Amino acid sequence: MRALRVNRSAVERRAATIPTRRTVKKEWQAAWLLRAITCIDLTTLQGDDTTGNVLRLCAKARRPVRHDLIEALGAADLGIKVGAVCVYHAFVSAAVKALEGSGIPVAAVSTGFPAGLNPLPQRVDEIRASVAAGAREIDVVITRAYALTGDWEALYDEIRAFRDACGQAHMKVILGTGDLATLGNVARASQVAMMAGADFIKTSTGKEPLNATLPVGVVMTRQIRDYAERTGHTVGFKPAGGIRKAKQALDWLILIKEELGDRWLRNDLFRLGASALLTDIERQLEHFVTGRYSAAHRHPMV
């Protein structure tokens, strides 16, 4: 693990080509944006969250695009809905009830999110409580100090404890890449998380000063590809934090297509952690349908 190295300048050059080398226009762009919607983990993780906000978010998750736009796009029969709704543990039960029958899973952030510095037994108990409340996906945070000090065995043991507590629930391991100091640490933490049983590896909590970036995405997706080639086991990828514009969503989809292939362009292996992103995607879809950009308030989130 300590021998794993990353060529930072090469990664940055590769990442810089993603927004410039390919463009997706017109009906292709609309189709890609609809695909992006199906991969969104529609998220609310604010200190002022209320049950009412979460219920409205769940209603948006069921029908993420205005019906008139879906009809105009010829997509009314596609059953477009988001990939999941992501909330704090306190709102899991309300979200599960609100999404009943929709097929949309509830994801709970856990393990002392966002810092992950609670005592390990408390973090494990929090996972079990969220699973018991009906969460089908758990987003866990690692102890970044293990990665920063190179204690990879301790990191593995921690994530294994989280994996055991998740049971049948999918586990998305948040690396907190903005806190990991180097791309080498990002690569090593990605490998450890996958070896310990992660179903997804995720960039960020959204609370760090630096969140999802394309260079980090290049490193993490290449670790996923390497792991799949070595083991035959596919692991998903979730960038999160700071993804607010439809153009950013397209950049991430292009990255996934080029680095991992079409198999990863579905929500069982790719998610976008976001909330404001959906508003901008709706605006872009309305522009495609009408030729005009609408105000954001015409596409309310909650």
pLDDT tens figures, 38-95: 999 999 999 999 999 999 999 999 999 999 999 999 999 999 999 999 999 999 999 9
First to last CA, the chain: 44
Task: Measure the CA–CA gap between 53 and 12, rounded to whole angstroms.
Answer: 39
Q: What is the pTM of this model?
A: 0.95
Kindly name the residue from 60, 81, 238, 251 that is annotated as catalytic: 238
Task: Measure the CA–CA gap between 182 and 246, rounded to whole angstroms.
Answer: 28
pLDDT tens figures, 137-158: 999 999 999 999 999 999 999 9
Kindly name the residue from 139, 179, 199, 280 that is annotated as catalytic: 139
Contact 284, 66 (CB under 8 A): no
Catalytic residue list contains 257:
no
302 has pLDDT over 60: no
Indicate the average pLDDT of the chain.
Answer: 95
Q: How confident is the model at residue 1 (pLDDT cuts 50, 70, 90)?
A: confident
Catalytic residue list contains 207:
no
Catalytic residue list contains 238:
yes
pLDDT tens figures, 205-251: 999 989 999 999 999 999 999 999 999 999 999 999 999 999 999 99
What lies within 8 Å, CB to CB, of 136 at 6+ separation is: 105, 106, 107, 169, 170
pLDDT tens figures, 159-209: 999 999 999 999 999 999 999 999 999 999 999 999 999 999 999 999 998
Domains of the chain: 26-298 (3.20.20.70)
Position 301 scores a pLDDT of 62
pLDDT tens figures, 95-113: 999 999 999 999 999 999 9
